[in-house]
Amino acid sequence: MLYQICHGAVSFADEEILHDINFEIRNTEKIAVVGRNGCGKTTLLKLIHGDVELDKRDSDEDIFIAKAGNPQIGYLKQIAFEDPSVTLEQEVRKVFAPMERRKKELEAAAQALETDYSEEAVTRYTAMEEKFKEDGGYYFEKEYDVIIRKFGFSEEERKKPLSEFSGGQQTKIAFIKLLLSKPDILILDEPTNHLDITTIEWLETYLKNYPKAVVVVSHDRMFLDNVVDVVYEIEYGTATRYPGNYSNFMERKKENYNKMMKDYNAQQKEIARLQRIVDRFKNKPTKVSMAHSKEKAIEHMVKLEAPDRFDTRTFHANFQPDKETGNDVLLVTNLAIGYDHPLSMVSFDLKKGEKLGILGGNGLGKSTLLKTLVGQLAPLAGEYNFGTNVQIGYFDQQMAMYSSRKTVLDDFWDEFPNLTETEARNALGAFMFTGEDVFKNIDMLSGGEKVRLALCKILKRRPNVLVLDEPTNHMDIVGKETLESMLKDFSGTLIFVSHDRYFVRKVANRLLVFEDGTTHLYQFGYEEYQEKLDREAAESGDDYRKNPAALGGAISQNGGTQQSKGTQETGGKKAYYNPGKERSKIEKKVKKAEEELAVKEEKLDALKQELLRPEYQSSYSKLTEIQGEIDALEEEIMADMENWEALSQQLEELES
């Protein structure tokens, strides 16, 4: 166990945020913390980092935080550069100061061997060299270069002072420093925000291969599916652990809920049956003993509680267009977009009801295109024309940064002054501003709340063309799923920019992809686009799509980049990959996994039979003990099944 919280609670201003939190980090686990906005995810990260403390309580339960040794915990909380005049390279290379010192010490020790070749000196040098190698000392320069490139910084930008970078770029620089520092527990809060898809894909591979523990809060479902192997859900102030990635968590959560509800309903049915017997025979002398035994059975029964329903509170609205457009909605012809110079040249057409997703790296002109189409920027060349009856609803990224001292209600009323208070509050209520929420100042709202308010105002006008720039930023997963559903059902036309691949996959039926000053229009959605990229990669022999680490995507524990499938580096020599030997090794692992599963499933069946033994039915402690064993064993079996499936898939890939 690397880190553990036992029965923890955290409160702010007499408001309990977390209560009875049990949380563990085991070895090199990649852990996701998920839950609704405001549930306490960031509070948990701060607790792990040591920024907040556990509540002090009088309790019979053990309340503590335990750590194995003194693990280094890294957390990107805020940007704090001591000297903004230093260059990007100088700032990032501060991380390597200890490694640079060790490098010089190693060089000095090597030099000393020229005059002192005693056994003691050789042993000392060998130990220093091995430790240096183990910690990535021979590879940190390469890793620095890889990460800088992957985050989109050019050779020229490395020499620029920090003060010349935007806030988003400075966040990236701080993120790079955190990754290169390689803490024992890496804590990340929404790491994919403001990263383009290419960088997100690289980061997925890097984190999956990170040799230490990772704890991440993210609403990017595809990212979580590709990175994590454990999910903790925070709901109603407590945390529940689920093995597997996000999709597995959702399946398990539904299964657990259905099982708990089934067990609860079955017990309620049994209690009602026994109570009917008691009520019917308690006053009959010949049956009173039987009635009494049934009454005792009810009393001694371990009462199950109805499971809490999923927290699915979300916004909703009927926002079908007020009027329809013509069939031809938008024609863009040789449109040069940019500020002082063209970023891209764009041409495409859009028909009624089409949903165009716009993809591409940062800085290529995606948001600039939207600003141009809604008239906020003048085109540098070319033209665009909207069709008949077009009414545009525009959402941009800055709306979540909107600042005002007005209340939510007054701010909404400013845009819709003809509405009655009831009408205004009903509209706001559909977007989860209920009760006293409408009297909150705008400046007090979270980013997610500001996004909801902006969407409420836009959709209240019932436009027939929606132009949305990163609408899911700051939204929790339930909010994203809600917006996905609303946009899929929207009968109007949609143009949107997003780096959320899951969202794009669900909503877009056409794609406009920005690449190095050009754009490509595809008459299909994201899944087909991915299949196209994979086919092209296979045809060209480009291994990056199958293994991004082959191009330096992830640095291994000893600092080396992962090798492609053909060869592996071992001590400076190439060790050739033997598919037959590898297949035999995996076959043995599959067989062993199957045997272990069979043993555990037999044990599970035995425990379930034991649970039904008549002599235990009145023993609360025994039933609880057996049920605890069953729950633990079922969790083990689920984890073993996932391991077996992964091994089986590896075997299939080798045999194909």
Question: Mind listing the pLDDT tens digit for each residue in 469-516?
Answer: 999 888 888 888 888 989 998 999 999 999 899 999 999 999 999 987
Most confident region among 70-79, 250-259, 359-368, 491-500 by mean pLDDT: 491-500
Eight-state DSSP code of residue 39: S
Mean pLDDT of 375-402: 91
Q: For residue 641, what pLDDT is reported?
A: 75
pLDDT greater than 50 at residue 605: yes
Cα separation values, 586 from 259, 452, 469, 594, 653, Å: 35, 50, 46, 12, 11
* Least confident window among 155-164, 261-270, 351-360, 542-551: 542-551
Nearest of 81, 41, 42, 40 to residue 175 by alpha carbon: 81
Q: For residue 557, what pLDDT is reported?
A: 38
* Least confident window among 54-63, 264-273, 534-543: 534-543
Cα separation values, 432 from 71, 308, 396, 521, Å: 41, 20, 21, 37
Structure tokens that stand for 16 in this block? 């309990």
| C-alpha–C-alpha distance, residues 475 and 398, integer Å | 14
Q: What are phi and psi of 53, to 5 degrees?
A: -115, 160
Q: For residue 616, what pLDDT is reported?
A: 67
Strand boundaries in 145-221, DSSP class E: 185-189, 213-217
pLDDT tens digits for 254-283? 888 788 888 888 889 989 988 988 888 888
Q: Residue 617's pLDDT band (boundaries 50, 70, 90)?
A: low
- Could you tell me what percent of the chain has a pLDDT over 90? 42
Q: Which residue has the tokens 């033209």?
A: 383
Query: Residue 515 CA to chain centroid, in angstroms?
Result: 26
Q: For residue 82, what pLDDT is reported?
A: 85
Single-letter code of the amino acid located at 54? L
Q: For residue 76, what pLDDT is reported?
A: 81
Strand boundaries in 49-157, DSSP class E: 64-67, 73-75
CA atoms within a 13 Å half-sphere pointing along the CA-CB vector of 247: 7
pLDDT greater than 80 at residue 569: no
pLDDT greater than 70 at residue 523: yes
**Average per-residue pLDDT in the chain?**
84
Mean pLDDT of 44-56: 92
pLDDT greater than 50 at residue 572: no
Q: Do residues 468 and 373 touch, judged by C-beta distance below 8 A?
A: no
Mean pLDDT of 356-382: 93
pLDDT greater than 60 at residue 589: yes
Q: For residue 544, what pLDDT is reported?
A: 46
CA quadruple 432, 434, 440, 442: dihedral positive or negative? positive
Q: Residue 635's pLDDT band (boundaries 50, 70, 90)?
A: confident
| C-alpha–C-alpha distance, residues 149 and 188, integer Å | 20
Angle at the Cα of 163 (from 159 to 166), degrees rounded to 5? Answer: 100
Q: For residue 560, what pLDDT is reported?
A: 37
Q: For residue 573, what pLDDT is reported?
A: 37
Nearest of 586, 591, 356 to residue 492 by alpha carbon: 356
| C-alpha–C-alpha distance, residues 424 and 415, integer Å | 10
Mean pLDDT of 356-383: 93
| C-alpha–C-alpha distance, residues 611 and 269, integer Å | 19
Mean pLDDT of 157-169: 89
| C-alpha–C-alpha distance, residues 334 and 65, integer Å | 61
Q: Residue 49's pLDDT band (boundaries 50, 70, 90)?
A: very high
Between residues 175 and 260, which one has the greater pLDDT? 175
Q: For residue 381, what pLDDT is reported?
A: 95
Residue 146 three-state SS: helix
Between residues 292 and 618, which one has the greater pLDDT? 292
| C-alpha–C-alpha distance, residues 37 and 52, integer Å | 19
* Least confident window among 74-83, 250-259, 569-578: 569-578
Output the furthest CA–CA distance in the chain (Å, rounded): 106
Residues 6+ apart with CB under 8 A from 455: 315, 395, 431, 471, 483
Q: What is the pTM of this model?
A: 0.66
pLDDT tens digits for 405-448? 999 999 999 999 999 999 999 999 988 898 998 999 998 888 88
pLDDT greater than 90 at residue 640: no
Cα separation values, 121 from 100, 128, 326, Å: 21, 11, 84
Instruction: State the helix-helix crossing angle for 246-281 and 288-300, rounded to 10 degrees.
Output: 160
Residues 6+ apart with CB under 8 A from 639: 243, 244
Q: What are phi and psi of 407, to 5 degrees?
A: -75, 165
| Distance, first Cα to last Cα, the chain | 39
Q: Residue 561's pLDDT band (boundaries 50, 70, 90)?
A: very low
| CA trace torsion 573, 576, 577, 582 (10° rounding) | -90
Q: Residue 570's pLDDT band (boundaries 50, 70, 90)?
A: very low
| C-alpha–C-alpha distance, residues 196 and 58, integer Å | 49
Q: Checking DSSP bridges between strand 392-395 and strand 567-570, what pairing results, if any?
A: unpaired
Q: For residue 30, what pLDDT is reported?
A: 97
pLDDT greater than 60 at residue 579: no
Strand boundaries in 320-446, DSSP class E: 328-338, 342-351, 355-360, 381-386, 392-395
pLDDT greater than 50 at residue 16: yes
Q: For residue 629, what pLDDT is reported?
A: 81
CA atoms within a 13 Å half-sphere pointing along the CA-CB vector of 367: 15
Q: For residue 45, what pLDDT is reported?
A: 94
pLDDT greater than 70 at residue 348: yes
pLDDT greater than 60 at residue 26: yes
pLDDT greater than 70 at residue 620: no
Q: For residue 14, what pLDDT is reported?
A: 78
Query: Residue 498 CA to chain centroid, in angstroms?
Result: 16
Residues 6+ apart with CB under 8 A from 46: 52, 75, 77
Single-letter code of the amino acid located at 521? L
| C-alpha–C-alpha distance, residues 145 and 615, integer Å | 68
